[in-house]
Structure 1
Amino acid sequence: MVKNNWKRKELLNGAIVVNSLMKGKNIPSLNIWFKYGLYHSIPKSLVHLIEHCSFYTSSTKNKTKGYILNGLVFPEATCFYARAFNDNLFEAFKDLINIAYKSPNISQKQLEIEKRIIKNEIRRKSVFIIYSLLINLLYPEINLNFVSGLDEITLEEVMQIKSKFFVPQNSIIEIIGNLDSKCFEKICSRIENIHVEGVNTNFPTYKHRSNVMWKKIKSDNMNLLGFIFPLPGYTYKNLIIATIIDYIFAKLENSKLRNLIREKQNFTYHINTDIVINKNFGYYIGFMKLQNSLIVEKASDLINKSLDSLILDFIDNKTFQKIKNRLKLFYMILLENIGKFSSRSGFNLLYMNEPLDIQKIIKILETISIYDIYDFVYKYFRNNLKGIYIIDKT
């Protein structure tokens, strides 16, 4: 059994530094997490723009590095990360600190370039559009229009929000890999020397709409069908059960939705699904690209009529045990992928104040029964389906 070893230190400026020790990881993962994401940002595009602009620093701009620096924006957090060999680990961390905590050294011209880059990113990915529409249908208080207001954002706003919320008291620093005590203390000392006071952030709570609801939207050159269900807030048990349901419903080769939509009807080859569990609420979301508007409407009608059997019919115990074994294997493999492990461990730190504990997850997984799945589905899935179908105007 894999056991997590980790140490944690809370600094005087409010930052928390954690070292998750993972044997055999010779390329440490350095991650600085801020409790500020899309849900906090007004407009939503502002935090994305801040993440882009943050890489305009005197130490990183137009310079080739022997390590990787990047950033990611999530609904409730922003992460800046580095991947480096041990011999230039501290150099990478110094650059990462500048990116994460300092105001960017960016001109108005460069700001406008980053705005255009973000617009191109959004246009290339239809998933942003359908996610935004579905989440708003389930949680009407959340409007994730990723481009709205982008053109009006000023350089002053970028600087103001960065200095106000991207501060030590809102951050957790996680180093994943083998790190000796001397290096750990050196990193802590470097972070503790950052004296910037800002405003504390909290994780929001939203109430979802009840009852089944579908929305029809006409668009250009797009035929999509999407669905969304509410999920409860973050715990290991909720995450495991939601993942098992995803396996049963859509992910596995013989999953129920896949059999109905792909194998029996040949409507589409692939069904995309995603589980998002935030601190206080979440959602299970999925969509499929279809050939034409007629198939979109047929598929939505079929899902509506078959919903109860799709989500409430029991599977046999033998199949259930195979699914649990497969999920156990997934979590064991997760330890081999430092990038994916970093992301999941970061949210665990934000929400549960400890790194991801694979041993604990597997113990909980072994206790979950078919009846736990049934109770969860009945509570959160039945009568809570929200869906959209986007059809070509032509």
Structure 2
Amino acid sequence: MFKVNKLKNGLTLLLLKRKTMRSASVSFCVKSGSVHEENNIAGVSHFIEHTVFRKTKTRNIKEIKKPLEEVGGSLNAFTARNLTLFYSKVPSRNINIAIEILSDLTFNASLEKDDIEKEKKVILEEIAMYEDDPVDQIFENLFKNVYDENFGRPIIGYRDTVKNMDEKTLREHYSKNFIPANTIVSIVGNFDEEEVIRYLESMEINRDSKEPNKILSPNISKEEINVVKKKKDLSQNYLVYAYEAPPKYSKDYYATLVLNTMMGSGMSSLLFTNIREEAGLVYEVASDYNSYNDSGLFMIYAATSDENVEKYKEKIDEITKEIYKREDLEDWVNYGKQRLIGKMTIDIETNMAYGMKILDLYLTYGKIVNIDEIVKKIEEVSLEDVVRVSKGIFSNNKFVSELNPEK
């Protein structure tokens, strides 16, 4: 059972001891992401996430990575719209060094000029990589037009904002946002609970106590969107259809999860079966559901050739508009429920995935939600729930993002 601990220094701890494990995962989640930025510093959270790995006030680049990797562990990080997360997986006996290094990255980074200039080149290369990837492009074009300004900005930032990053910008954002009140530490695996709490409580973190950032949700366009771009050297047409969908706080959240799973998860899904295997119109087709506390977006993605693109569009429209009339819908709903529960059950076998899931639920509801509660809610989803949700979603405005070959 997860335990929640609020420490005097402002940190929140989520702890789950699993005695049968020989490893542990540690995550430091900071509620600071791209939505907590201004346009002129777009990408600063992501830039910080990169640069802290170069040097802290007590460790150089080698001393940050080697102590964990030489014992078989791992160290990584990512930036999202609402958060920046540093995480590690280590043998249980090495958990203290993982906590030390992750806390160092979170609160004690140097952010020096030379390191900033080096990382600037790396991030500009990363931007170039995304610009070459058609899948990244169609989703960025979608979000930029469907979400409000804060959520529509790319997490990585823009070329100009990245080029203009300097010590002052990074240090101001870091000292303001990378603070204990904004940080949740999640530890899952085999560890000494009292020792971990004692160590984290003893940490001296030189940060002013401020109100924590809020977990935000995007405002979604109230008008239909149709974004069509062209790109050289493409051999396929890339398409995303999106629709406003229930938020996490909605009673229809779990029915939407089931709808998403039955439609686009796995080679046995409805879209894969109907559009790829039966109609032969695509190589790849899938659905996704971006859910936030107060809003959501349901998406269908595919890539197809010039000769099949119009047939694909007709087929997608037919499926989405008529899905609630299908005679085999109950079978698909059962597939969605079973697959969703099964994947969750398998995922939580690993410490890291379990910790990430519980962290996501805690950020949403402000409390620990037991996985068994989630399974029960999925099991309770009825055929009527999915019919109602599908009618609602696919009658909403359709948002389209296309990237086509430039002739």
276, 290, 306: which one pairs with 1:262?
Answer: 276
| Pair 1:153 & 2:165 matched | yes
Instruction: Tell me, in whole angstroms, the C-alpha distance in 2 between the residues paired with 1:355 and 1:187.
Output: 23
**SS across alignment from 1:221:** coil
Shift of residue 97 of structure 1? 0.5
The 1:227/1:190 distance shift into structure 2, 3 A limit, reads farther
Which residue of structure 1 lines up, in the alignment, with residue 88 of structure 2? Answer: 82
- 1:358–1:186 distance in 2 versus 1, CA, 3 Å: same
CA separation of 1:320/1:23 partners in 2, compared to 1, >3 Å: closer, same or farther?
Answer: farther
CA distance in 2, matches of 1:21, 1:356: 16
Asked if the contact 1:275–1:284 (Cα under 8 Å) also holds between the matched residues in 2, the reply is yes
Flag the 1:210–1:374 CA change in 2: closer, same or farther, 3 A: farther
2:405 is equivalent to residue 392 of structure 1: yes
Q: Distance in 1 between matches of 2:193 and 2:218?
A: 42
Residue aligning to 1:102? 108
Q: Is residue 347 from structure 1 mapped to residue 360 from structure 2 by the alignment?
A: yes
- 2:325 and 2:10 map into 1 onto residues whose CA distance is 46
Give 1:176 shift. Answer: 0.9
Give secondary structure in 1 for the equivalent of 2:137.
Answer: helix
Deviation at 1:16, TM superposition (A): 0.6
In the TM superposition, 1:353-392 aligns within 5 A as: 353-355=366-368, 357-392=370-405
Q: Alpha-carbon deviation of 1:318? A: 4.5
Distance 1:154 1:384, change over 3 A: same
Task: Please show how residues 102-181 of structure 1 align to structure 2 within 5 Å.
Answer: 102-106=108-112, 107=114, 108-123=116-131, 125-141=133-149, 142-145=151-154, 146-148=156-158, 149-181=161-193
Measure, in 1, the Cα distance between the counterparts of 2:14 and 2:327: 42
Q: How does 1:285-296 map to 2 (within 5 A)?
A: 285-292=299-306, 294-296=307-309
**Residue among 277, 281, 289 paired with 1:275:** 289
The size of the alignment, in residue pairs, is 388
Decide whether the 8 Å contact of 2:281 with 2:311 is kept in 1.
no
- Distance (whole Å) between structure 2 residues aligned to residue 44 and residue 279 of structure 1: 23
Task: Give the Cα separation in 1 of the matches to 2:328 and 2:32.
Answer: 40
CA distance in 1, matches of 2:277, 2:258: 21
Alpha carbons of 1:39 and 1:295: their partners in 2 closer, same or farther (altered >3 Å)? Answer: farther
Which stretch shows the higher mean deviation, 29-38 or 210-219? Answer: 210-219
Residue 254 of structure 1: CA displacement?
4.8
Instruction: Tell me how far 1:137 sits from its aligned partner.
Output: 3.2
* Residues in 2 aligned to 1:91 and 1:241: alpha-carbon distance in whole angstroms: 42
Measured in 2, the distance between the counterparts of 1:152 and 1:200 equals: 27
1:35 to 9, 31, 46: 31
**2:344 corresponds to 1:335:** no
Deviation at 1:28, TM superposition (A): 0.7
Counterpart of 1:221 in structure 2 is 233
Per-residue deviation at 1:314?
A: 6.1
Of 68, 76, 96, which aligns to 2:74? 68
TM-score normalized by the length of structure 2: 0.86
TM-score by length of 1: 0.89
**Helix, strand or coil: the match of 1:84?**
strand
Rounded to whole Å, the distance in 2 between the matches of 1:25 and 1:229 is 42
Match of 2:10? 14
Residue 51 of structure 1 and its aligned partner are, at CA, apart by 0.6
Amino acid at match of 1:110: K
Distance 2:225 2:290 in 1: 20
Contact 1:7 1:20 in 2 (8 A): yes
| Shift in Å, 1:167 | 0.6
Mark the CA change 1:367 to 1:79 in structure 2 (over 3 Å): closer, same or farther.
same
Write the distance in 1 (CA, Å) between the matches of 2:100 and 2:266.
Answer: 43
Q: Which residue of 2 aligns with 1:231?
A: 245
Identity %: 18
1:147 is displaced (CA, Å) by 4.2
Listed one character per residue, the Cα deviations across residues 285-324 of structure 1 (whole Å, up to 9, x for unaligned) are: 23222233x4334423442354311466464435433432
Provide the C-alpha distance between the structure 2 equivalents of 1:326 and 1:236, rounded to a whole number of angstroms. Answer: 22
Name the SS for the 1:176 alignment partner.
strand
C-alpha separation between the residues in 2 aligned to 1:242 and 1:377? 8
2-structure distance, mates of 1:24, 1:354:
25
Contact 1:249–1:310 at 8 Å: present in 2 too?
no
Picking from 218, 226, 229, the partner of 1:206 is 218
Deviates more, 1:307-316 or 1:325-334: 307-316
Contact 1:225 1:296 in 2 (8 A): no
Distance of aligned partners of 1:203 and 1:172 in 2 relative to their CA distance in 1, 3 Å threshold: same
SS in structure 1 of the partner of residue 29 of structure 2:
strand
In structure 2, what is the Cα distance between the partners aligned to 1:125 and 1:345?
32
More displaced 10-residue stretch of structure 1: 241-250 or 364-373: 241-250
Cα distance in structure 1, aligned partners of 2:308 and 2:271: 15
Deviations 1:191-222 (A, max 9, x none): 4x213125631222433234654332222233
Instruction: Give the C-alpha shift of residue 12 in structure 1.
Output: 2.3
Specify every segment of 5 or more residues in structure 1 that has no aligned partner in the other structure, as ranges.
none
Question: Aligned Cα RMSD in Å?
Answer: 2.6
* Letter matched to residue 37 of structure 1: G
